[in-house]
Structure 1
Amino acid sequence: MIALGFEGSANKIGIGIVKLDGSILANPRHTYITPPGHGFLPRETALHHQEHVLPLVHAALKEANITPDQIDCICYTKGPGMGGPLQVASIVVRILSQLWKKPIVAVNHCVAHIEMGRVVCGAEDPVVLYVSGGNTQVIAYSEGRYRIFGETIDIAVGNCLDRFARVLKISNDPSPGYNIEQLAKNGKEYVELPYVVKGMDVSFSGIESFIEETANRKLAANECTPADLCFSLQETVFAMLVEITERAMAHCDKKDVLIVGGVGCNIRLQQMMQIMCEERGGRLYATDDRYCVDNGAMIAYTGLLAFAHGHATPMEDTTTTQRYRTDDVLAVWRGVEHAPVGKDDAVNGVSGKCGVADLLHTSDTAIASN
């Protein structure tokens, strides 16, 4: 079985073609990059997606060396995400479904990140830390659903990093978070910042406001460098994430952690989480930007899992929503107790047991695709 997947919930439009065994036949994407100091707005992002979506479909079919007749279903991101960009992919999917006579499967963006990480890394039943520009959640599977044990109560960690990148006028190419990570490597002095953990939840908006004010004051007085501030911000917010993840592990009696989402590419976050996992006798599973960053393959694979278990979305229900909770989805493909185990040839030569140590040597060159 083969699925065609469309991802367009934020500033990346991606098309993936995937087999049910997890083999990725194609996974091209294009990123909308704005000038330094600027974020991306829904209307301009949607126009970007409109411009690139059809060329990406052609490129994916060519790379996979298949025709539309060989596709079993077409999958798309229903939500969560930005309204305008989400609608671009859903409209194209509805048109292609009618042209090619193919069923549609609506996919939850958050669950797709988890399933992509599981099939690539071979993580059996981990606690999941999902960190991106729009989401921050600690998740574990239980009784048919991915349950949220902790999350941000305001902005996502990726949004916190992105906002601070705008303050420093850091380039958005390939992504502001990646450029903050590189700058943080040169930081030498830790600038004390608020540390806001509330039980199982975290808060980042106050930290972002505090470091913005600190940057305006201390940089003008030459009391620190931009690298010091990037280093301090990473160390603080990542320590918060490690804390709530470890608390969820203790609650769920699990030893392994899987990091997914765009911020999950950050090598410093992976290093900190790996130390915690090793102290608990567990293992960290993480990937690089090919699978952490939004992509069409994760949508295709997750939709195909549901489709293989008899689920498809009627045309009248192929809508989008900016709010779609991870725990709203019934993960029918997982059953109650078992999860897929990784294999040596999981995805295009990527080891099915790719822990963080396998990626450290390529970390500096693993950047978001344009």
Structure 2
Amino acid sequence: MIALGIEGSANKVGVGIVREDGTILANPRHTYITPPGHGFLPKQTALHHQEHLVALVQAALKEAGVTPADISCIAYTKGPGMGGPLVTCAVVARMLSQLWRVPLVAVNHCVGHIEMGRAVTGARDPVVLYVSGGNTQVIAYAERRYRIFGETIDMAVGNCLDRFARVLHLSNDPSPGYNIEQLAKQGMRYIELPYVVKGMDVSFSGILSFVEEAAGRMLADGSATPADLCFSLQETLFAMLVEITERAMAHCGAPDVLIVGGVGCNMRLQEMMGVMVSERGARLYAIDERYCIDNGAMIAWPGLLALKHGQATPLSESTCTQRFRTDDVLVTWRD
């Protein structure tokens, strides 16, 4: 069995082709990059996906060396994500399903990240830290659900980093978070920022407001550099994430941590988490930008797992939603 997966919940659109043994045959993607200081809006992002998606399908088939006759199902991102881009990808998925006469499988974006991480790293039953532009959650599996032990109560950590990058007018190529990470390596001074952990949940909006005000004041009087601010912001945000992840490990008795999502590529986050994990005698699993960042293979793989366990999505129910909780998914393919 071979699945083709379509992902386009944010500014990246990708098509992945995966075989049932977990081999990734192809995984091309294209990123919508806006000018420095600007974010990406749903309408323009959807137009970007419309422009590139069919070509990505053709490129994936060519790279994988397969034809439409070899495809067993079309998996697509149901949500969560931005409405316009999600609809664009769902329309193409429905079209291919009818043209090629294969079943559709709707996939939760967050579960896609988790299953991709498990497949690539071999992690069996880890506590998962899922960090991206739109989501921040600490997750563990129990009784056929990915249970959320802690999450952000306002904005996602990736969104916090992206919005501060706009304040500094950093480039969005390849991503604002990546450019913050590189600038933070030059930081020489730690500036104390609010540290907001509420039980197992975290809050980032107040930190962002504080550091935005501090940037205007401290950059003007020369008391801090952009690198100092990026360094301080990363250290504070990541320390909060490490804290709630360790608490979830203690509660679950889990020996492993898996970091997924676009922010999971950040080497400083991996380093800080690695220190905590090693002190507990546990293992850290992380993946690089090929699989951390949104991609089609992370949708194709759980779609194939679901199909093999009798789950398919009727055409009449192949909808999208901007809000789709990780713990809403019945995980039939795990014990």
The residue that corresponds to 1:81 in the other structure is: 81
The match for 1:294 is 294
Counterpart-to-counterpart distance in 2, 1:320 and 1:258:
27
What's 2:154 paired with? 154
Alignment of 1:1-370 (within 5 A): 1-335=1-335
Question: Structure 1: which 5+ residue stretches go unaligned?
Answer: 336-370
TM-score, normalising length from structure 1?
0.90
- Aligned partner of 1:168: which letter? L
1:20 offset after TM fit, Å?
Answer: 1.3
* Mapped partners of 2:293, 2:24: distance in 1: 15
Q: CA deviation at 1:90?
A: 0.2
Q: Take 2:223 and 2:21, find their aligned partners in 1: how far apart are those partners?
A: 54
**CA–CA distance in 2 between the matches of 1:275 and 1:255?**
14
Distance 2:19 2:86 in 1: 24
Aligned residues: 335
For 1:11 and 1:22, how far apart are their aligned partners in 2? 26
Q: How big is each residue's C-alpha offset from its partner over 1:91-118, in whole Å with a ceiling of 9 and x where there is no partner?
A: 0111111111010000000000000000
Unaligned runs of 5+ in 2: none
Q: CA deviation at 1:255?
A: 1.9
Q: CA deviation at 1:21?
A: 1.3
1:43 shift after superposition: 0.1
Deviating above 3 A after TM superposition, structure 1's stretches of 4 or more consecutive aligned residues are none
TM-score w.r.t. structure 2 length?
A: 1.00
Secondary structure at the aligned position of 2:37 is classed as coil
1:140 deviates by: 0.1
Matched residues, percent identical? 77
Measured against aligned partners, the alpha-carbon deviations of 1:51-103 in whole angstroms (never above 9, x if no partner) come to 00000000000000100000000000000000000000100111111111010
What is the alpha-carbon distance in structure 2 between the residues aligned to residue 326 and residue 210 of structure 1? 30
The one-letter amino acid paired with 1:76 is: Y
What is the alpha-carbon distance in structure 1 between the residues aligned to residue 279 and residue 326 of structure 2?
29
> What are the Cα deviations for residues 145-176 of structure 1, in whole angstroms up to 9, with x where unaligned?
00000000000000000000000000000000
Give per-residue Cα distances to partners, 1:29-64, cap 9 Å, x unaligned.
000000000000000000000000000000000000
C-alpha RMSD of matched pairs (Å):
0.4
Amino acid paired to 1:161? L
